[in-house]
Amino acid sequence: MRPELARFLDPKLGLGSDNLQTFHREGDHVDEGLWLSADGRWNPIIRGVPCFLPIALRPDFSEFFRKHGLGVPKQDDAAIKAESEQQAKTNVTFSDKWSKFRNYGLEPGHQEFLFDWYCKKLGLPSIEALKNFYRGKKLILECGPGSGFNTRFMAENGGGTVISVDISEAAFTTFGNTKHLPNCHVIQADLNELPLPDNTFDFVIADGVLHHTPSTRQAVESLYRKVKPGGQFFFYVYRRMGAARYFCDQHIRETFSKLDPEACYKACEGITEMGRELSKLKAQVTLEKPIPILGIPAGTHDVQRLIYYYFVKCFWNDAFDYETNNMVNFDWYHPHLAWQHSEEEVEGWLKDLGVKEYAFHPANPNGISTLVRKPE
């Protein structure tokens, strides 16, 4: 963390150099330290990342306080709300995943696939257009960056400042992948309780994140508040799929989300193998009639994709190695919170927020890619 992060934080927190204690520096970063905010909250900085998590979601910092001879602050003992428990369980998935898959999206083979997909999600024709899109943004907020590959791309190609926020240990992975970039800052916080001012960001992005919180709608509202008038907001959330796929999702999650991460990776292996073997067939079927009861449109379908989209998520993509493909399936079945929505639902939320300008970009069948502009 560089101390100039203070410039971008909510002034109400009163965070500056006078209440920042530095215990250890690494280059221009505070590697270990403590920030005391005006509301009396202690915000430890550990491994370069300041923690603004709400009390209910904080890890046990007692060792950190002992090490630095600090009195352990009295924490609010209020009962942890049920929804924090769900979020905490969901964080276990992502802390594990992003501690293992630190290079996701940073390898050239991944980038081609992922940034082509970003173009589709944002409704842009090419990678050059994607870079141009970011070039116009002075201040960007990414929530839920995972490995940080997109945070890094925006900071490298946009030239503006990128603030990247994750609730899980993914924050450390993102920091590791972006700390060399002077226009990038990483913090650990809940997107529903951000230490950032409202009406500030030119662009806010949350890709595959909001459905992993206790309420997707509330998450949309929380981030929309951070967008400045005239600014843009992109989010991608899971789409409610047809009945067979929905049944399988519920049925498998019911069991897999209760496993510890290692056991869940193992349990996903058969599903990943099925995806790989189906994909090897390179077979297609043409359905002249749609099957509305299962949400299947008429047309020509790749067999692996037909099963993947409408029956059981068995992801496979040749751009990734076996472990990464298996991780994508783990990412689907392990999180406790993983809501699915319809476009009508999302449209309703946007209408209630007073949004006039928005588009759903058809990037893939099982997600809703939404780009919103906040009225001036």
Ligand X SMILES: C[S@@+](CC[C@H](N)C(=O)[O-])C[C@H]1O[C@@H](n2cnc3c(N)ncnc32)[C@H](O)[C@@H]1O
Q: Which of 170, 196, 220, 363 binds ligand X (CB under 6 A)?
A: 170
Q: Binder to ligand X among 165, 237, 296, 312 (CB under 6 A)?
A: 165
Select the residue interacting with ligand X from 45, 130, 139, 191 (CB under 6 A). 191
Are the C-beta atoms of residues 147 and 105 closer than 8 Å to each other? yes
Residue 159 CB, shortest distance to ligand X, in Å, is: 21
Coil/strand/helix, residue 213: coil
321 secondary structure, DSSP code: -
Per the DSSP assignment, residues forming a β-bridge with 237 are 368
End-to-end Cα spacing for the chain = 33
Give the span between the Cα atoms of 59 and 203, in whole angstroms. Answer: 30
Interacting residue with ligand X among 213, 324, 340, 366 (CB under 6 A): 213
Binder among 32, 190, 202, 249 for ligand X (CB under 6 A): 190
Instruction: Please count the residues of this chain forming the interface with ligand X, following the rule CB under 6 A.
Output: 20
314 is a contact residue toward ligand X (CB under 6 A)? no
From the CB of 95, what's the least distance to ligand X, in Å? 7
Interface with ligand X includes 96 (CB under 6 A)? no
- Per CB under 6 A, the list member of 52, 64, 94, 256 interacting with ligand X is 94
146 touching ligand X, by CB under 6 A: yes
Cα separation of 48 and 314, whole Å? 37
Give SS3 for 375. Answer: coil
Which of 18-26, 142-150, 254-262, 320-328 is the region at the interface with ligand X (rule: CB under 6 A)?
142-150
Q: How far is CA 146 from CA 32, 95, 299, in A?
A: 22, 9, 35
The 42-81 site mask, x for binding ligand X (CB under 6 A), equals ----------------------------------------
In sequence order, which ranges of the chain are alpha helices (DSSP H)?
62-67, 82-100, 108-122, 127-135, 149-158, 170-178, 216-224, 243-256, 261-281, 303-310, 322-333, 343-353
Contact call for residue 167 and ligand X (CB under 6 A): yes
* Of positions 73, 208, 297, 365, contacts ligand X by CB under 6 A: 208
Collapsing DSSP to helix, strand or coil, 258 comes out as coil
Rounded to whole angstroms, how far apart are CA atoms 360 and 235?
10
Q: Applying CB under 6 A, which part among 38-46, 75-83, 177-185, 208-216 lies near ligand X? A: 208-216
Contacts with ligand X by CB under 6 A lie at 94, 98, 143-146, 165-168, 170, 190-192, 207-209, 212-213, 331
